Structure 1
């Protein structure tokens, strides 16, 4: 049972059985000490017990001598003396044996002593009761009552022994009074005995509680003493005291050891000189020491003042606190304070701060430190009516290297980039890494825009030089967006946003360049944001529809098919050109669901046309990078009933630019279905003959820019068209000239050998109904 005092000093719960010694609780160590205290308490009163018993026995003998035979009285008195002396000796011996702990058996042994003593004391009441002498009975009752009361109060430390004594002697007294005075007196004696029993138990419980509390306090005192000794032995804290002249008058040995001086000689030295160490003569004081001097001069209390203290050749960091001292008359007598060495804590704090503010990969300032530096630069610019700048740098073609060669190479490349950037900065700039392949430059003084643009060009040229990493020669570039504060933003968030918009313009221009922020960029960005929100709901709101542009035979002019062209009409913004929303759909990854809708709608419409009119559908690279696109094409053909050979997918060269993709495998599976494949805008990108030979294209589409230039007499354009036609013919492919708008252009591309033409001369993109009419007309013309 719990014998520990509670934090609120409420009486602890004491198990009555353990108190009486009837069983040994689980926390026997504590109860062993309590039992020892009980035995010691009984042993301390052994002499008093012996005296009380002998005095009471003498009184009883004097009362009973006229009533009982003298021999019997003398014999009882002798027996009482022997038993009382034996009990007293045993209890004193038990006190010496118990020490600081006692067993339950030792506590129970006291019960046998009390029982023997009680039995001897029970003889006179029983003898008087049987004899029926009322006068002697009442006198004997007074002696017994006093003895029982004294035992209940003084011998409560041994509750079970005292209770046994009271029960036996009280029962004998009750029997005596019952025989002489009747049951009423016997009941009174019984009640009296019960009250003594209750009082004895309560007092015994109180004594145990007191002892338990003393044990708990002693244990706590021991714990505190241990902690204090541990603190004295291992603590880095020390004490110091200076007088009104700032001279050390009392310093702990640990203080002297901390400054590397002798504990005797340190007293009497100027406090500031001790802390300044080797810098005292040069007068090169730290900011912390100057602040301490001001506090001492102003007689101000201070705490947690951190300063650098040179100790030998090492620099330590101390945290000190002190309060001014005044004598009884109120005169200033100096300072008394404490200090501690916080060098390790400061090193840990500095490391944590560095980890929080510096990029672990490159060692450059991270986004947090860059934002803090930009905030300070903007504050200075506003204070001095000057300018600062923020440059956001994004690496061109880094993702392709990271994807193809792996992240370890990519990480090492970022390290090389950071090294080159670090060589470009001056005290006027801070370069950091924002994350991924994005870096930033904070320019504190950007009053010269010419110098700012020169730095941007230098960064682009420096980062564009080749890198040699693990036998790989790597080429990347950089795009930069520049924002000048406070012109382009009065807060750090606004200035970063402006630089981001300028960077977006640089990336949109093809990379490898820089742009400065213009207000129109924000307008364009807001328009793009609104357009993106509208585009996400366009399909669900049935705002998308298809137009179909005829494709005809260049020689006969007969209809061969249609190209499905996506159109978007918004109820508020009206018709939105594809050149605006298609790139947005690709960038926001909405092109996949939109492209699937186009494919299914075009197949369903083409199934209404008569053979052999085909439908051509443009496919985004993002759709082909998804292996599930094969299932989409098969599902569109199956649901519409359109034969596979009447579907033609148009792809651009950009599909083959990403290494390690499954685009080619996806195209091969689609071609195996019987679907035709056309290469769109050939000659406008990274034209390669390699993928022309590896992929089964059925036709090549010549971009309208070549048609227009050739019609204007440009010999280069004419030569390109002839070369493409010859190449396609040698590979068994047809050629389609796009953008034919006049008769002269039609004749020209026909003479150059193009097999099919497409353009306004033969028909603009038509709504569904008109396309159906033309398809039916073409069927009748063919018939």
Structure 2
């Protein structure tokens, strides 16, 4: 379809130079067609122009026959007629038609024709009017005026030639009148000439505008014809029409074919009956058909109305649009509209909609679909005054499967998990996958809270059963957070947040359990949020400091070093225990900057102690997963001027649960620097002996729980402590007993052969000044004092 502005006619009405052919127009193709029209109009008037010139020359000869020699008259007539014949035949020789094309040069060259005729006729005032009587002069003047008028009207299509002719001839007459002393007549001829030029330009503009409009209409008709042809050739589109009683009239063959009927039988049938098909008798109409009936009854225009139809036993989807028809007197005549079969488009849209709302891996509803269903469930529940529930599930130990066996196995495991959850769903339940290893369950009717809790327990039990995938027996579990509306939230966002808080509580409870939301969870979450905000600026505000707990030689009682312990005191929140803010720092990824600060501070302090004193610093598994941690340690040692062997990094067994993330490689690089490693809380985790064989630990720290139970005489604890110490001695690894608080505990670990000891019995964590003083005078001197 052409997008050119039909406005060409408006531009032509003001652009005189383009109309005259002095320059090309903005749309060269369209102006080429207009110029062809100008030349064609000149061609059609060529004989009239020739006849007018010949007739005018004969009249002139008759008027001057008595005052001018015959040979002069004959010569002049011959020359003028020769010019007129040349111009006439030149125009007749042009090949242009009204629908062809011409360039600007063809129109511009017509100016020479006007100039030739103007020169020929301008000799009349000079040759014949000088000595002619007044009557003859008046006759000649009338002849010239009539000729100029005829030219202005008849020769207007070629405006440039006409203007040159009028201007040259008018100028000659005016000069002759001025020389004759008739100034008033000269001004009159001047005004008349200008008027004829204006008339000529006006007619030329009118011709251009008419032709431009014809071109625009032609293009529009061509476009409409093209669209209609395409429309008729499209097998899925048709036209339809009804009378005032909503009966089909003038049914096209294409419409009848689409309805599965012939044009004769469909004529006169109610439109709604045709579209309703088998449901016409039962009255069980689709919603779209009811909407159509309302529009027809209200005599309203409609468009993009989709409705299901059944054609020859096959379900199809149609999209129709129509407008009411009215007669000359305003009476309603029916509807005329267009329809199309959009079954395939709807199938594609349904497929896209499914891809947007269902998880491609498990086939379960995705987060978007879960949220939409939850919003709908809440609206329905509030409407009927019922209760509804939302469960958020998180798989336990799933990450270990991905890290050890790879993502393909993990993806297949997620598929098995989704199958087990889906098997437990009833008519009032819907499960979906939120992403990763997170799932959700929506309970539309939670009036029986005990039944909802039983469902949560059945899900946990089902997901905890072993999975057999590619000769691997996999064991995972699930933790569930449960919220019930409207008690725990009246919006989808609130209900999800409540379930999320309950899920955190389930994880804290040891995983593999479900927990329901309680109001205090929100208080705890708000407390956590405030704590996180304060933690982000704790170092910059100088709220954190280190305390140092002595590590004592069991045999001599001498201080061998200190363990740096991080403390945080907030002006508003008071003293926050490490057990609360360290996990928060790890979760919010703040452990890296905080751990770097602890290293720098501890190394800077240790360099003030005697050279045989070591400093022990606890390191998080998250820190060791970052390869740049080695640079952090190197920088801390270099800036403080502390030798690497005086720094001991304490790690827990949780480091080895993420071997795929590179923690062990970082440990190896630290050992190559000369830094000592200590395995903290040995025995409380997985206690794999493979850790000790693969990593060069300098010491093992026995957890306080074993020391306390062994001192009470518990046989299992005594056996574990003895075995750990014996194992360490055989591997040439030192042992440190943690949490020694009594004399009995001290004598016990001494008898067992433990190397080092620390606890309240030897000293509580000390401020930096006291620790520095203790390090410089030694433990024995302190005890003696």
Q: TM-score, normalised by structure 1?
A: 0.89
State the distance in 2 between where 1:416 and 1:343 align: 35
Equivalence for 1:144: 144
Q: 1:164 to 1:470 in 2, by over 3 A?
A: same
State the distance in 1 between where 2:224 and 2:386 align: 63
State the distance in 2 between where 1:239 and 1:307 align: 16
Q: 1:238 aligned to 2:248?
A: no
Equivalence for 1:382: 382
Equivalence for 1:707: 707
State the distance in 2 between where 1:359 and 1:65 align: 108
Q: 1:128 to 1:421 in 2, by over 3 A?
A: same
Alignment of 1:85-164 (within 5 A): 88=88, 91=91, 94=94, 100-102=100-102, 117-118=117-118, 120-128=120-128, 131=131, 136-164=136-164
Equivalence for 2:744: 744
Alignment of 1:385-534 (within 5 A): 385-534=385-534
Contact kept, 8 Å, 1:61 with 1:77, in 2: the verdict is yes
State the distance in 1 between where 2:480 and 2:451 align: 15
Task: After TM superposition, give the deviation of residue 326 of structure 1 in Å.
Answer: 8.8
Contact kept, 8 Å, 2:12 with 2:205, in 1: the verdict is no
Contact kept, 8 Å, 1:39 with 1:158, in 2: the verdict is yes
Contact kept, 8 Å, 2:114 with 2:161, in 1: the verdict is yes
Alignment of 1:570-581 (within 5 A): 570-581=570-581
Task: After TM superposition, give the deviation of residue 156 of structure 1 in Å.
Answer: 1.9
State the distance in 2 between where 1:693 and 1:280 align: 82
Equivalence for 1:733: 733
**1:157-196 deviation per Cα after TM superposition (whole angstroms, max 9, x unaligned):** 2234334433554455456546655899778767765664
Q: 1:339 to 1:778 in 2, by over 3 A?
A: same
State the distance in 1 between where 2:281 and 2:91 align: 78
State the distance in 2 between where 1:80 and 1:396 align: 111
State the distance in 2 between where 1:23 and 1:590 align: 75
Task: After TM superposition, give the deviation of residue 311 of structure 1 in Å.
Answer: 0.8
Counterpart of 1:723 in 2: which secondary structure?
A: helix
Contact kept, 8 Å, 1:122 with 1:169, in 2: the verdict is yes
Task: After TM superposition, give the deviation of residue 219 of structure 1 in Å.
Answer: 2.6
Task: After TM superposition, give the deviation of residue 702 of structure 1 in Å.
Answer: 0.9
Equivalence for 2:775: 775
Task: After TM superposition, give the deviation of residue 226 of structure 1 in Å.
Answer: 2.8
Task: After TM superposition, give the deviation of residue 695 of structure 1 in Å.
Answer: 1.5
Task: After TM superposition, give the deviation of residue 385 of structure 1 in Å.
Answer: 3.5
State the distance in 1 between where 2:774 and 2:701 align: 22
Contact kept, 8 Å, 1:237 with 1:341, in 2: the verdict is no
Equivalence for 1:621: 621
State the distance in 2 between where 1:183 and 1:324 align: 71
State the distance in 1 between where 2:221 and 2:171 align: 47
Contact kept, 8 Å, 1:614 with 1:646, in 2: the verdict is yes
Alignment of 1:205-220 (within 5 A): 205-220=205-220
Task: After TM superposition, give the deviation of residue 630 of structure 1 in Å.
Answer: 2.1
**1:37-93 deviation per Cα after TM superposition (whole angstroms, max 9, x unaligned):** 323433444454455445433432332122123454456557666765675566556
Equivalence for 1:269: 269
Equivalence for 2:60: 60
Counterpart of 1:487 in 2: which secondary structure?
A: coil
Task: After TM superposition, give the deviation of residue 501 of structure 1 in Å.
Answer: 0.6
Equivalence for 1:647: 647
State the distance in 2 between where 1:89 and 1:778 align: 131
Task: After TM superposition, give the deviation of residue 499 of structure 1 in Å.
Answer: 0.6
State the distance in 2 between where 1:530 and 1:143 align: 107
State the distance in 1 between where 2:164 and 2:323 align: 66
Contact kept, 8 Å, 1:700 with 1:734, in 2: the verdict is yes
Task: After TM superposition, give the deviation of residue 483 of structure 1 in Å.
Answer: 0.9
Counterpart of 1:664 in 2: which secondary structure?
A: helix
State the distance in 1 between where 2:329 and 2:39 align: 58
State the distance in 2 between where 1:509 and 1:178 align: 120
State the distance in 2 between where 1:147 and 1:11 align: 31
Q: 1:49 to 1:290 in 2, by over 3 A?
A: closer
Q: Which runs of 5+ in 1 are unaligned?
A: none
Equivalence for 2:765: 765
Contact kept, 8 Å, 2:6 with 2:212, in 1: the verdict is no
**1:480-505 deviation per Cα after TM superposition (whole angstroms, max 9, x unaligned):** 11111122222222111111011111
Q: 1:541 to 1:140 in 2, by over 3 A?
A: same
Contact kept, 8 Å, 2:240 with 2:339, in 1: the verdict is yes
Counterpart of 1:657 in 2: which secondary structure?
A: helix
Task: After TM superposition, give the deviation of residue 426 of structure 1 in Å.
Answer: 1.1
Task: After TM superposition, give the deviation of residue 601 of structure 1 in Å.
Answer: 1.7
Equivalence for 1:612: 612
| Aligned-pair Cα RMSD in Å | 3.5
Counterpart of 1:37 in 2: which secondary structure?
A: helix
Counterpart of 2:648 in 1: which secondary structure?
A: strand
Equivalence for 2:204: 204
Q: 1:78 to 1:648 in 2, by over 3 A?
A: closer
Pick which of 533-542 and 402-411 moved more: 402-411
Task: After TM superposition, give the deviation of residue 379 of structure 1 in Å.
Answer: 3.0
Q: 1:346 aligned to 2:329?
A: no
State the distance in 1 between where 2:90 and 2:196 align: 25
Contact kept, 8 Å, 2:389 with 2:442, in 1: the verdict is yes
State the distance in 2 between where 1:228 and 1:256 align: 19
Equivalence for 1:698: 698
State the distance in 1 between where 2:593 and 2:292 align: 70
Equivalence for 1:319: 319
Q: 1:41 aligned to 2:52?
A: no
State the distance in 1 between where 2:14 and 2:387 align: 80
Equivalence for 1:359: 359
State the distance in 1 between where 2:470 and 2:151 align: 99
Number of aligned residue pairs: give it.
Answer: 780
State the distance in 2 between where 1:491 and 1:611 align: 63
Q: 1:473 to 1:9 in 2, by over 3 A?
A: farther
Q: TM-score, normalised by structure 2?
A: 0.89
